[in-house]
C-alpha cells in the first residue's frame, strides 16, 4: 500500500487531501510512522523523530495513528490476496508476499501482469486507496520491483533479466543493506550491485562477516530461494506480566515495558533467533486488551532496538485509568540479524538522551508552575471535592457532536478542543472549537472510507473554505469492513 497510514487519513478527511500529512507519536519521544508523499517532499520519512519532522514540515497535519482503521483496511487487502493464492505471507499491515504459482492464477508474463493490474483495481474499489505491485520470480526481486512501482504502479521483472537489472543499482537497493553496511562497502570501493558480485564471496565475508557477506553475495547474483510462508506458520517469542494493582503512573508503565523487552530478547537469543516484528500488548483497567506492532527493516536480537520499538508503540496507547497487564513479543523469526539495526539502536539511544534532557527542563517548569498554583489554592472544603479527570482528545481521532455530527480532532489543549466536521463522503468541513469537557462532544466510531449510497452516513457538508484544498466529490463505493492485525510496512509484493 502507498504511504498507508497517511493515505488512509487523507481518504477519511477531505480537508487533508493533497496536503502534507504525518502520522505517528506526537509526544516528546514520538517518531513518524508514515508520511504522505506531499510531506516526503520536505524530507520527512518514517522512523524520523517527530521533533525533526516538525522542523522540516511545520505546516503539515500531525495525527495520532488510528490502528483500528488501518487493521480494517489491511484485512480487506489480505482477503483479496488470499483469493489469489493459499500462500500469503503478511509482513505488516500493508505489505505481503503472495505465491501466484501456488494459486494457479499466473503461468507467464502476460497472465501475471493481468493478475497484478486486477489486484490494484480491486484494492482501489474495496478500500478507496492505492497499492503498488511488484512481480518477480523471488521475494527479494518482488520487493525491489514494488519499490520501483511506487506510487500506484506495477513493475514486472522478467525472468532472465535479473542480473542485468540489478547490476547498475546502488548497493542500498538490496534488502539488509543500510547506512552502516553501505559505508563499509563504499570504503572498499563497492557502490553498485554489480561491484558486489565482482568482489566475490570471500571478500564480502572478510568485510562483513560470514553470514552477512554470504547472504549479500547471493542477493547480488539475484539468488533468493526463500519460500512464501503462510501466516499460520509464523512463530513468535513473547513475555507478559499481570500486576496485582493496576499501574497508573505513565513512567512506571514505560519502565515495565523496557523490562519486558529485555526479557523477551533474552528468550529470543536463547532460542538462537532474531525477529522482525515487535508486538506490544496492553490490558487496561476495564479488561480491554490492545495489541500494537511495528515491523522493522530487518530481523534483530538487539535489546535496544526492541526496547525502543516497544516504547514507540506505547506512545500510541492510552493508559489512562490504569494498566493491569503488559506484554512484549517478537515475531517474524529468522536465524540471522541485520547489522544496520545496531546503528539504528545507537541513533535511537542518542535521540532518547536528547529528549530526556528536554523533558527534565519541562518538568522543572511544571514543578515551578505547580508551586504557584498551590499558593493560590481554593479553600480546603472546596478542594476536597475532586474534579473529574479531563478527557483526552487525540489529534486525528474520531468524535461526534450531538448538534454538528461526526468529525475529527484537529487539535486540543488549554481546556479546549478543535474539531473539523467532515466525513470521507463530504466536502472539506468547517472547524469549530469547544471546551474539552463539552457534554455534547463524545468519542466517535471511525467511518468506512467507502460506502454504498444506501448505507452511507452523511455528515455536514459546508463546501470548500478559503485556504483549503482537496476533492469535493463524494467517494461512493460498496462498503466493506472487518478486523485484522497491525505493524509497519510499505507495499504489497507478489513473487
**DSSP run (H or E) holding 145:** helix 139-149
Whether 142 contacts 466, CB under 8 Å: no
- Give Dmax (Cα) for the chain: 84
Whether 78 contacts 96, CB under 8 Å: yes
402: nearest Cα among 442, 462, 431: 442
Helix-helix angle 179-187:340-375, to 10 degrees? 140
**Other Cβ atoms within 10 Å of 400 Cβ, number:** 17
Whether 165 contacts 176, CB under 8 Å: no
CA 25 distance to own-chain centroid: 10
- For the record, the C-alpha cell of 147 comes out as 519499490
Is 79 a catalytic site residue?
no
Instruction: Exactly one of 38, 89, 95, 339 is catalytic; name it.
Output: 95
- For the record, the C-alpha cell of 17 comes out as 487531501
Distance CA 256, CA 252 (A): 6
Tell me the DSSP string of 307-322. HHHHHHHHHTS--TT-
User: Do strands 405-413 and 289-300 pair parallel, antiparallel, or not at all (unpaired)?
Assistant: unpaired
Distance CA 471, CA 474 (A): 8
**Other Cβ atoms within 10 Å of 407 Cβ, number:** 26
Q: List beta partners, residue 154.
A: 133
Give SS3 for 409.
strand
- For the record, the C-alpha cell of 82 comes out as 488470499
- For the record, the C-alpha cell of 104 comes out as 494457479
351: nearest Cα among 312, 314, 301, 318: 312
Residues carrying an active site annotation: 95
Amino acid at each position: 500500500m502507498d504511504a498507508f497510514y497517511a493515505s488512509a487519513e487523507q481518504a477519511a478527511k477531505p480537508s487533508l487531501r493533497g496536503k502534507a500529512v504525518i502520522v505517528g507519536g506526537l509526544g516528546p519521544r514520538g517518531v513518524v510512522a508514515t508520511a504522505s508523499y506531499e510531506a516526503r517532499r520536505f524530507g520527512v520519512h518514517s522512523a524520523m523523530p517527530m521533533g525533526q519532522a516538525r522542523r522540516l514540515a511545520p505546516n503539515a497535519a500531525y495525527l495520532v495513528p488510528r490502528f483500528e482503521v488501518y487493521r480494517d483496511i489491511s484485512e480487506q487487502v489480505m482477503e483479496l490476496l488470499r483469493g489469489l493464492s493459499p500462500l500469503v505471507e503478511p509482513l505488516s499491515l500493508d505489505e505481503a508476499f503472495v505465491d501466484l504459482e501456488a494459486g494457479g492464477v499466473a503461468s507467464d508474463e502476460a497472465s501475471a501482469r493481468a493478475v497484478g493490474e486486477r489486484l490494484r483495481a480491486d484494492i482501489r474499489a474495496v478500500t478507496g486507496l492505492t497499492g503498488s505491485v511488484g512481480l518477480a520470480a523471488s521475494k527479494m526481486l518482488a520487493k525491489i520491483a514494488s519499490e520501483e512501482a511506487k506510487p500506484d504502479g506495477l513493475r514486472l521483472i522478467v525472468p532472465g533479466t535479473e542480473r542485468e537489472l540489478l547490476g547498475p543499482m546502488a548497493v542500498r537497493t538490496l534488502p539488509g543493506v543500510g547506512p552502516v553496511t553501505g559505508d563499509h562497502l563504499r570504503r572498499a570501493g563497492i557502490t553498485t550491485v554489480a561491484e558486489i558480485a565482482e568482489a566475490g564471496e570471500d571478500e564480502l565475508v572478510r568485510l562483513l562477516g560470514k553470514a552477512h557477506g554470504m547472504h549479500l553475495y547471493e542477493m547480488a547474483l539475484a539468488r533468493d530461494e526463500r519460500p512464501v510462508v503462510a501466516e499460520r506458520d509464523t512463530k513468535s517469542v513473547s513475555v507478559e506480566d499481570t500486576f496485582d494493582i493496576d499501574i497508573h503512573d505513565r513512567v512506571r508503565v514505560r519502565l515495565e515495558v523496557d523490562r519486558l523487552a529485555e526479557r523477551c530478547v533474552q528468550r529470543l537469543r536463547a532460542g538462537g533467533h532474531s525477529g522482525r516484528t515487535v508486538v506490544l500488548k496492553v490490558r487496561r483497567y476495564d479488561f480491554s486488551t490492545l495489541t500494537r506492532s511495528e515491523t522493522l527493516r530487518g530481523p534483530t536480537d538487539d535489546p535496544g532496538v526492541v526496547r525502543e520499538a516497544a516504547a514507540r508503540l506505547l506512545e500510541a496507547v492510552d493508559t489512562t485509568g490504569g494498566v493491569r497487564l503488559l506484554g512484549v513479543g517478537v515475531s517474524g523469526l529468522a536465524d540471522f540479524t541485520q547489522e544496520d539495526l545496531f546503528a539504528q539502536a545507537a541513533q535511537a539511544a542518542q535521540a532518547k538522551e536528547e529528549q530526556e534532557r528536554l523533558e527534565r527542563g519541562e518538568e522543572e517548569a511544571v514543578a515551578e508552575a505547580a508551586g504557584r498554583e498551590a499558593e493560590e489554592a481554593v479553600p480546603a472544603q472546596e478542594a476536597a471535592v475532586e474534579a473529574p479527570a479531563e478527557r483526552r482528545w487525540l489529534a486525528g481521532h474520531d468524535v461526534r457532536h450531538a448538534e454538528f455530527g461526526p468529525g475529527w480532532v484537529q487539535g486540543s489543549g488549554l481546556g479546549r478542543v478543535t474539531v473539523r466536521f467532515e466525513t470521507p463522503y463530504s466536502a472539506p468541513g468547517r472547524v469549530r472549537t469547544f471546551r474539552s469537557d463539552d457534554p455534547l462532544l463524545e468519542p466517535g466510531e471511525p467511518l468506512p472510507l467507502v460506502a454504498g449510497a444506501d448505507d452511507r452516513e452523511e455528515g455536514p457538508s459546508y463546501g470548500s473554505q478559503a485556504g483549503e484544498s482537496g476533492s469535493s466529490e463524494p467517494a461512493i463505493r460498496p462498503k466493506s469492513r472487518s478486523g485484522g492485525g497491525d505493524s509497519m510496512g510499505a507495499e504489497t509484493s507478489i513473487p
